Chains A and B, each alone.
Chain A
Amino acid sequence: MALSGGTDRVSHSMDKSITLPPDEIFRNLENAKRFAIDIGGSLTKLAYYSTVQHKVAKVRSFDHSANVSLQETDGDHLYEISVQEEITARLHFIKFENAYIETCLDFIKDHLVNTETKVIKATGGGAYKFKDLIEKKLKLKVDKEDEMTCLIKGCNFVLKNIPHEAFVYAKHADSEFRFQNTHPDIFPYLLVNIGSGVSIIKVESEDRFERIGGSSIGGGTFWGLGALLTKTKRFDELLNLASKGHHTNVDMLVKDIYGGAYGSLGLTGDLIASSFGKSATTNKEFSKEDMAKSLLHMISNDIGQLACLYAKLHNLNRVYFGGFFIRGHPVTMHTITYSINFFTKGEVQALFLRHEGYLGAIGAFLKGAEEDNPNQYSWGENYAGSSGLMSVSPEMNPVQRARSGTFDMLEMDRLERQLVNLPLLQDPSSYIPDTVDLSEDALAREYWLYCFEEALDGVVKRAVASQRDQPEAVERAEKFRQKYCHKLQTLRHQPFAYGSLTVRSLLDTREHCLNEFNFPDPYSKIKQKENDMALKYYQKVVRSVEELNWEQRQFTLVKGLLAGNVFDWGAKAVSDVLESDPEFGFEQAKQQLQERPWLVDAYNQWIERLKGPPHKCALFFVDNSGIDIILGVFPFVRELLIRGTEVRQQYYWLGPRYMFY
């Protein structure tokens, strides 16, 4: 549906028209409530809370209180799977240029059904300017919120709820983005917000924060001086020029004064002694690129230095940077990172946020949603509906360009239960559940992306099969395929789009995409079949193991563990096998195991240890269903229980923050 701009002209730049595909950008508008808007100098961020209805597969077990032996219930299922409709609360955030404000407001107004909402929370410098327009179009009263408060609230929220929100930028490393683990305690920290000017804010707790300082040399200075010096009007163009320039032509370096380094003070020759120091003495013209670069260094270094001085005074070692000056620009992130590193002698690292552009909108939204108490829940990023971090570098690849920078989105789903860290973890903040980081390991990344792409056909088929009774299943499954395929493509070119790329995040992404199109668990029936089969076979396995002597038994149990592990849904090899031979035998699996020594082989130490006293406690990390747990893990666990060890099992979900059953 194409909408042309209104005839009311708030400003001459206001009437851009744009096509807004209904289910792509402003989604789930019908039930939207709690609106918030953050209007900056050139970008607007709109937030709203809505509900999404989708199918969820629920498991219900039958009553087994009657003495029914497992072997006799032939053909009956041990538990029932039912698909129900569930309502999930979802936060939507959309970012677009101010030029499109009117069009977007019209669109929202047309699709909004809910009339309960009377107020829209607003923040940002532009909130004042567009107040009347918003009130007129949306028929909502604009309630202004303090910008800094919104910023901090938003910052706290993303740091607490989005894994891998913060990252360190390392230009010359294999993986430019190094994502940080969610720290259980995010306070205190320093937030350096670089907009037109700079505000340095110390955040001590959810409600206690203070602007401890700032600087007038910020993004506005870069833009203003840059425009004067290079006659370039647009901010992005300036950065582009800067990325190509050489500041050494314009700046006076230490070596220009000393002929080399200033050794006794540890100042290397390449350090800038005086920004623009060569401009007074040379007669030649400087290129735009060189001047822009000098300017960028000058401003980044200055901000970095001040940030470090404040951090030192207040004893803070977590410093986050945000604001339009940063906006994910690699060149800016690099100069700031360098500056912080220099002025703290490597002790403090500059941290950036994946969603820094949304902080104000999130904060404004939270102010309005205080009744719902969003902080008591855990929220997760919906990969299907979120654009992901886009590198705005000049070498942007065609896939991204097509996707456009016009609209950017973030969606967050409220989780059923609040996530907590596993209580047994020694140091939650340093624990990394993933053994491979696909953002860093290019070879592994290519393998797994390929794996998931190849498996896609199978998943689509399975999805359709799981909802055979529904006519549009085929259509939905096709849409799922396209969406997931697109995500994989994005990840191939931008592995850092959603934080660290891991097998787990690829699986989660797939799950989100499946949920999008109402395929809650395409494998539920298959899993059920597998579990039934495994449970029936269980007694046989246990009995055969008991007949062995002690040494043989231990070895068989270990082999059972390994064999069970071969049954991994993601791995291509197994997918193939499952497709072709549903009656795959556990015995065959064990026989297929390679000979010792295995890749990681601590069996000898294990058997020696077993000869000693029983372990006090054992903690298992396992999947929640399947042949691997029933035929591989259970017999092994049983053995430990017989010996007198206490056993706990942890079900794997969502990484380091587990739901503790």
Chain B
Amino acid sequence: AFPWFGLDIGGTLVKLIYFEPKDITAEEELEEVESLKSIRRYLTSHTAYGKTGIRDVHLELSDLTLWGRKGSLHFIRFPTHELPSFLQMGRDKHFSSLHTTLCATGGGAFKFEDDFRTMANLLLVKLDELDCLINGVLYVVSSGPSECYYFVNPTDPERCEQKAYNLESCPFPLLLVNIGSGVSILAVYSKDNYKRVTGTSLGGGTFLGLCCLLTGCSTFEEALAMASEGESTRVDKLVKDIYGGGYERFGLPGWAVASSFGNMMSKEKRDSVTKEDLARATLVTITNNIGSITRMCAHNENIERVVFVGNFLRVNTLSMKLLAYALDYWSKGQLKALFLRHEGYFGAVGALLELSNPS
């Protein structure tokens, strides 16, 4: 029964997928309960909700057929700390009276289960986030046009291009790196055969957290804007700063970072860098670290294709290009970095897909 939602409650963001049926017959319309209609109208007529909710219109997947119904898939997000407002809204719109199943994944599905019940009288079907992630990826890759892409000449601004990659014909095996607040790295061998290889706590949450502390910014977009204007080499100590050039014996080029934030050991240098430089350095440090760990995992698991997802990469071409370059360079061309357009929404899609599951 409508409405069809998929919810992914993460550490920092809540991702909400809404399936808007476009094939509603006149009869159906007549029978449609008021609350359902109002929800549908509210969601589809706005692109922003309250102060912090956003619908990523450019990601909308239209002309989709799901369980015999034609419609569009909408991608909505808002900060996890606004969840109470969301629940309040749910109550105001009498969402619970619709008696639909609400499939939810992510840590918040467990953490806020009680809140859903008490504040909005809603019962959640809790799903494992990694199961949902993989199902979501596989579904979107096969449904959306040119979902998967990679970079050619990532570090050359003149010649850099995005090229489509056909992942759906042969998706396995692949290394899936989900960069949210934290990072999870999964080795996926088939739809039902995957394992979480490892994770790291140096993720998107770290980038945002450190940036806020170092520069006084307060949103992800602000942090990224600052980073795009900064120069991290003023903050980091490079190989050439220590050795005068490269350290050939060990294959370390002079431009490689020897010590992130290493120049900040000196007071003089600390006083001379800008907030933008610090933001950039934070971005580069976190991104390169994820790249390193990913690379080692790929080698250990013997997998050559790495797909990066997660909202850390949202509007973050800087990080994507860095990852693309680093993976290629340090693996001497053996590994390939792939990206997906719907970045951080796959968990929610996977949750939505569970609606068809009779249990």
Measured CB to CB, the residues of A under 8 A from B are 125, 146, 148, 195-197, 199, 211, 213-221, 223-225, 227-229, 233, 250-252, 254, 256-260, 262, 264-265, 271-281, 286, 291, 298, 301-302, 305-306, 309-310, 312-313, 343
Is B22 on the interface with A (CB-CB < 8 A)?
no
In the complex, residue of chain B having the shortest beta-carbon distance to the beta carbon of A260: B110
Apart from A216-B259, A258-B108, A277-B206, 17 more pairs, CB < 8 Å: A197-B262, A215-B292, A221-B262, A224-B259, A228-B264, A252-B205, A258-B110, A272-B201, A273-B181, A273-B205, A274-B182, A276-B205, A302-B202, A302-B289, A306-B292, A309-B300, A343-B198
Q: A262 — which chain B residues lie within 8 A by C-beta? A: 107
Is B260 on the interface with A (CB-CB < 8 A)?
yes
Name which of A148, A196, A218, A291 has the most chain B CB atoms within 10 A of its CB.
Answer: A196
**Cα of A215 to Cα of B212 in the assembled complex, Å:** 24
Q: How distant is B85 from chain A, measured CB to nearest CB, in Å? A: 15
Structural contact, B209 and A259, CB atoms closer than 8 A: no
**Cα of A102 to Cα of B200 in the assembled complex, Å:** 45
Q: Decide: A224 near B265, CB < 8 A? Known: A215-B289, A302-B202, A343-B198.
A: yes
Q: B110 — which chain A residues lie within 8 A by C-beta? A: 258-260
Q: B288 — which chain A residues lie within 8 A by C-beta? A: 216
**Cα of A196 to Cα of B242 in the assembled complex, Å:** 10
Q: A196 — which chain B residues lie within 8 A by C-beta? A: 237, 242, 258-259, 262, 265
In the complex, residue of chain B having the shortest beta-carbon distance to the beta carbon of A285: B213
Within 8 A of A (CB), among B255-292: 256-265, 267, 270, 278, 285, 288-289, 292
Is B67 on the interface with A (CB-CB < 8 A)?
no
Structural contact, B250 and A148, CB atoms closer than 8 A: yes
Q: Decide: A252 near B270, CB < 8 A? Known: A259-B111, A276-B210.
A: no
**Cα of A308 to Cα of B55 in the assembled complex, Å:** 41
Is B189 on the interface with A (CB-CB < 8 A)?
no
Q: How many A-B residue pairs have CB under 8 A?
A: 191
Q: How distant is A151 from chain B, measured CB to nearest CB, in Å? A: 12
Is B119 on the interface with A (CB-CB < 8 A)?
no
Structural contact, B181 and A227, CB atoms closer than 8 A: no
Q: Which of B202, B214, B260, B299 contacts A275 (CB 8 A)?
A: B202
Structural contact, B242 and A298, CB atoms closer than 8 A: no
**Cα of A479 to Cα of B258 in the assembled complex, Å:** 49
Structural contact, B292 and A276, CB atoms closer than 8 A: no
Q: Which of A146, A220, A254, A302 contacts B262 (CB 8 A)?
A: A220
Q: How distant is B151 from chain A, measured CB to nearest CB, in Å? A: 22
Q: Which of B11, B111, B250, B260 contacts A211 (CB 8 A)?
A: B250
Is B236 on the interface with A (CB-CB < 8 A)?
yes
Q: Which of A228, A256, A310 contacts B214 (CB 8 A)?
A: A228
Structural contact, A257 and B209, CB atoms closer than 8 A: no
Q: B278 — which chain A residues lie within 8 A by C-beta? A: 228
Structural contact, A279 and B210, CB atoms closer than 8 A: yes
**Cα of A176 to Cα of B358 in the assembled complex, Å:** 56
Q: A214 — which chain B residues lie within 8 A by C-beta? A: 252
Q: Decide: A221 near B292, CB < 8 A? Known: A197-B259, A227-B270.
A: no
In the complex, residue of chain B having the shortest beta-carbon distance to the beta carbon of A258: B107
Contacts A/B (CB < 8 Å), 27 sampled = A196-B237, A196-B262, A199-B250, A214-B252, A216-B285, A224-B260, A227-B270, A228-B278, A229-B214, A233-B267, A252-B11, A254-B107, A257-B11, A257-B107, A258-B107, A258-B110, A259-B113, A272-B201, A274-B11, A274-B209, A275-B209, A277-B201, A291-B213, A298-B202, A302-B202, A309-B293, A312-B300
Q: How distant is A186 from chain B, measured CB to nearest CB, in Å? A: 22
**Cα of A196 to Cα of B238 in the assembled complex, Å:** 11
Structural contact, A221 and B111, CB atoms closer than 8 A: no
Q: A265 — which chain B residues lie within 8 A by C-beta? A: 130, 196
**Cα of A310 to Cα of B249 in the assembled complex, Å:** 19
Q: A254 — which chain B residues lie within 8 A by C-beta? A: 107
Name which of A254, A302, A305 has the most chain B CB atoms within 10 A of its CB.
Answer: A305
Is B10 on the interface with A (CB-CB < 8 A)?
yes
Structural contact, A273 and B285, CB atoms closer than 8 A: no
Q: B285 — which chain A residues lie within 8 A by C-beta? A: 216-217, 221
In the complex, residue of chain B having the shortest beta-carbon distance to the beta carbon of A259: B111
Measured CB to CB, the residues of B under 8 A from A are 10-12, 79, 81, 106-108, 110-113, 128, 130, 181-182, 196, 198, 200-206, 208-214, 218, 235-237, 242, 249-250, 252, 256-265, 267, 270, 278, 285, 288-289, 292-293, 296-297, 299-300
Structural contact, B296 and A228, CB atoms closer than 8 A: no
In the complex, residue of chain A having the shortest beta-carbon distance to the beta carbon of B195: A265
Q: A271 — which chain B residues lie within 8 A by C-beta? A: 201
Q: Which of B130, B201, B257 contacts A274 (CB 8 A)?
A: B201
Q: A211 — which chain B residues lie within 8 A by C-beta? A: 249-250
Q: Which of A146, A220, A278, A279 contacts B260 (CB 8 A)?
A: A220
Q: How distant is B267 from chain A, measured CB to nearest CB, in Å? A: 7
Name which of B10, B79, B130, B213 has the most chain A CB atoms within 10 A of its CB.
Answer: B213
Q: Decide: A301 near B209, CB < 8 A? Known: A217-B260, A224-B263, A265-B196.
A: no
Q: How distant is B286 from chain A, measured CB to nearest CB, in Å? A: 9
Q: B112 — which chain A residues lie within 8 A by C-beta? A: 259
Structural contact, A224 and B262, CB atoms closer than 8 A: yes
Q: Which of A218, A258, A278 contacts B209 (CB 8 A)?
A: A278
Q: Which of B107, B261, B296, B297 contacts A224 (CB 8 A)?
A: B261
Q: Decide: A225 near B11, CB < 8 A? Known: A197-B262, A216-B236, A216-B259.
A: no
Q: Decide: A225 near B202, CB < 8 A? Known: A273-B181, A306-B292, A309-B300.
A: no
Structural contact, A310 and B296, CB atoms closer than 8 A: yes
Q: A197 — which chain B residues lie within 8 A by C-beta? A: 237, 257-260, 262
**Cα of A195 to Cα of B262 in the assembled complex, Å:** 10
Q: Decide: A279 near B201, CB < 8 A? Known: A224-B265, A305-B293.
A: no
Q: How distant is A227 from chain B, measured CB to nearest CB, in Å? A: 6
Q: A312 — which chain B residues lie within 8 A by C-beta? A: 300
Q: A225 — which chain B residues lie within 8 A by C-beta? A: 210, 261, 264
Structural contact, A274 and B203, CB atoms closer than 8 A: yes
**Cα of A427 to Cα of B188 in the assembled complex, Å:** 43
Q: A313 — which chain B residues lie within 8 A by C-beta? A: 296, 299-300
In the complex, residue of chain B having the shortest beta-carbon distance to the beta carbon of A298: B202
**Cα of A258 to Cα of B213 in the assembled complex, Å:** 25
In the complex, residue of chain A having the shortest beta-carbon distance to the beta carbon of B114: A259
Q: How distant is A59 from chain B, measured CB to nearest CB, in Å? A: 53
Give the 8 A-B CB pairs with smallest separation, nearest first.
Answer: A224-B264, A259-B111, A279-B209, A257-B107, A274-B205, A220-B259, A224-B261, A276-B209
Q: B79 — which chain A residues lie within 8 A by C-beta? A: 281
Q: B108 — which chain A residues lie within 8 A by C-beta? A: 257-258
Q: How distant is A155 from chain B, measured CB to nearest CB, in Å? A: 17
**Cα of A493 to Cα of B79 in the assembled complex, Å:** 53
Name which of B112, B289, B293 has the most chain A CB atoms within 10 A of its CB.
Answer: B289
Q: B235 — which chain A residues lie within 8 A by C-beta? A: 224
Q: B206 — which chain A residues lie within 8 A by C-beta? A: 274-277, 298
Name which of A217, A264, A280, A298 has the most chain B CB atoms within 10 A of its CB.
Answer: A280
**Cα of A280 to Cα of B80 in the assembled complex, Å:** 12
Q: Decide: A280 near B264, CB < 8 A? Known: A215-B289, A216-B259, A302-B202.
A: no
Q: B252 — which chain A residues lie within 8 A by C-beta? A: 214
In the complex, residue of chain B having the shortest beta-carbon distance to the beta carbon of A217: B260
**Cα of A415 to Cα of B111 in the assembled complex, Å:** 65
Q: A286 — which chain B residues lie within 8 A by C-beta? A: 213
Q: How distant is A399 from chain B, measured CB to nearest CB, in Å? A: 32
Q: How distant is A285 from chain B, measured CB to nearest CB, in Å? A: 10
Structural contact, A229 and B213, CB atoms closer than 8 A: yes
Structural contact, B11 and A221, CB atoms closer than 8 A: no
Q: B296 — which chain A residues lie within 8 A by C-beta? A: 213, 306, 309-310, 313
Q: B218 — which chain A residues lie within 8 A by C-beta? A: 280
Q: How distant is B191 from chain A, measured CB to nearest CB, in Å? A: 18
Q: B297 — which chain A residues lie within 8 A by C-beta? A: 309
Structural contact, B200 and A302, CB atoms closer than 8 A: yes
**Cα of A272 to Cα of B236 in the assembled complex, Å:** 25
Q: B249 — which chain A residues lie within 8 A by C-beta? A: 146, 148, 211
Structural contact, B265 and A227, CB atoms closer than 8 A: yes
